[in-house]
Amino acid sequence: MKELIQDIDLIDPAEVERNGVKVSPNANSGQNRKLYIESYGCQMNFSDSEIVASILAKEGYDTTSDIEQADLIFINTCSIREKAEQTIRHRLKHINGFKKRKPGLLVGVLGCMAERLKTNLLEEEKIVDLVAGPDAYRDLPKLINQVDDGQKAVNTFLSREETYADISPVRLNSNGVTAFVSIMRGCDNMCTFCVVPFTRGRERSRDPHSIMAETQALFDQGFREVTLLGQNVDSYKWSEKENNKARIEKSGAEGIINFAHLLEMVAKIHPDLRIRFSTSHPKDITDEVLHTMARHENICKNIHLPVQSGNSRILELMNRGYTREWYLKRINKIREILGKDCGISSDMIIGFCSETEEEHQDTLSLMDIVEFDFAYMFYYSERPGTLAAKKLTDDVPLEVKKRRLEEIIRKQRLHAEKSNKSDVGKVFRILIEGTSKKSEQYLQGRSSNNKVAVFEAQNKNKGEYVNVLITECTGGTLLGKIVA
């Protein structure tokens, strides 16, 4: 698997896999047009690519992992940073070579970049034939037909209802053990630095009946871990009354199902099914969610809680809806309810508009207090159309941003190493996800708190749970041996 190289420090090796580039697998009848999908960015994009593959499979399209064999090439894009968009533009130029050798090749851009740039992609990138935003994937067969008829095709309409709840995703590049399940789409938070509300639309929650059905089917197929996905899972909210659905036992007052209810429902499918979720918002994660996690052993004790900055003034400029003090109180509550071994990871933006050196030091000091297990760290890059681009000035010099970022990265590496060293001598229950990248004699998997462990195979197989005694570690990986 290729990796999308970004100037982000990806401390957790498992996250490198989940946030790299993924392509569609082979599923060829030898008779149909072949679809190749390449996915960039967040887990939601990978989940969306699985939806796209499912929609087109029903229309008779095969999939291929060999771009040379493709009749259709789709690039599912990310707009979160300028670097991501530049990477995709470079990739499109490379794909132009395939199109010159194969004149009938259809090239489409999907996802957030498609929504943000719309027809500009068709005008600037002559190679692109089709542009479809995140809510337009049901329209892809019609858009492809338009291209076949000699037209350019665009649909970037943002829906207030679309959740793709009735579509069973085709699991691309699946290891057969872990899978993503989308529970909601869009975002109502208007963080000033973020393009998501403009590229993915307003927040809407998926029918819990369909989430349960999809998750149960995954378990029946042999999957042993699901990650519930949403831009802000803590704001999941679904009303039985408004949607005219049968009442679910765990729902709250007036048939309202919140994220804590949904977590418990999914956890009860089977004790051997692990549950993860991403992403949480510091202003919205509740004690009810934390207590639900504590009650169920199969809900993984790991929370990704982006802080973005350790300074309250900067957090206010970012419109994050919480202060430094609020964030630290949430961290304390997590450790009070779930224990000190609960994994905590974060996102941090360095050099946001008007950030002073003292405010940068506030982020470093917050890191020392929390000691994150791993983090995504990057310097601020202004995104056109965001509230920050309209109202704030990107006035921190690039060389200052890069120096501050390096300081953040160095500190995070120290904290990650300290965290891993503290696990030496402990025993973790590990779900085996496959063989080690370096040797088939070794297996790898993750602990409940989302740390990667590598250990000798000892005749164990993918999808099994094993107890692993940690004997040593590197900066990003635990090393150990299976014990009884």
What span, in angstroms and rounded, lies between the C-alpha atoms of 56 and 63?
A: 9
Q: In what order do the strands lie in the sheet with 374-379?
A: 302-304, 343-350, 374-379
Q: What is the chain's pLDDT, residue by residue, as a tens digit (484 residues)?
A: 222 222 222 233 233 333 345 555 555 444 589 999 999 888 888 999 999 999 999 999 999 999 999 999 999 988 877 888 888 888 988 888 888 888 889 999 999 888 787 777 777 667 899 999 999 999 999 999 999 999 889 999 889 899 999 998 988 878 999 999 999 999 999 999 999 888 889 999 999 999 999 999 999 999 999 999 999 999 999 987 666 655 555 555 567 999 999 999 999 999 999 999 999 999 999 999 999 999 999 999 999 999 999 999 999 999 999 999 999 999 999 999 999 999 999 999 999 999 999 999 999 999 999 999 999 999 999 998 899 999 999 999 999 999 999 999 999 999 999 999 999 999 999 999 999 988 889 999 999 999 999 999 999 999 999 999 999 999 889 999 999 8
Identify the CATH number of the domain defined by range 13-155: 3.40.50.12160
Domain boundaries, the chain: 13-155, 178-422, 427-483
Percent of the chain that is helix, strand, coil (3-state, to 5): 35, 20, 40
Residue written as token pair 């990796």: 3
Q: At what angle do helices 324-338 and 287-295 cross, to 10 degrees?
A: 20
Residue 120, CA distances (Å) to 39, 49, 117, 125 in order: 20, 22, 5, 8
Is the bond into 279 cis (omega within 30 degrees of 0)?
Answer: yes
Q: Residue 41: left if φ>0, alpha if ψ -120 to 50, beta else—which one?
A: left
What span, in angstroms and rounded, lies between the C-alpha atoms of 109 and 355?
A: 35
- Homologous superfamily (CATH) of 178-422 is tm_1862 like domain (3.80.30.20)
What span, in angstroms and rounded, lies between the C-alpha atoms of 309 and 348?
A: 6
Residue by residue, DSSP assigns 183-244 as -EE------TT--HHHHT-S-EEPPHHHHHHHHHHHHHTT--EEEEE-TTGGG-EEEHHHHT
Kindly indicate whether the domain formed by 427-483 is annotated with CATH number 3.40.50.920: no
- In this structure, how many other beta carbons lie within 10 angstroms of the beta carbon of residue 125? 19
- Report yes or no: 354 and 393 within 8 Å, Cβ to Cβ: yes
Residue 114 per-residue DSSP state: H
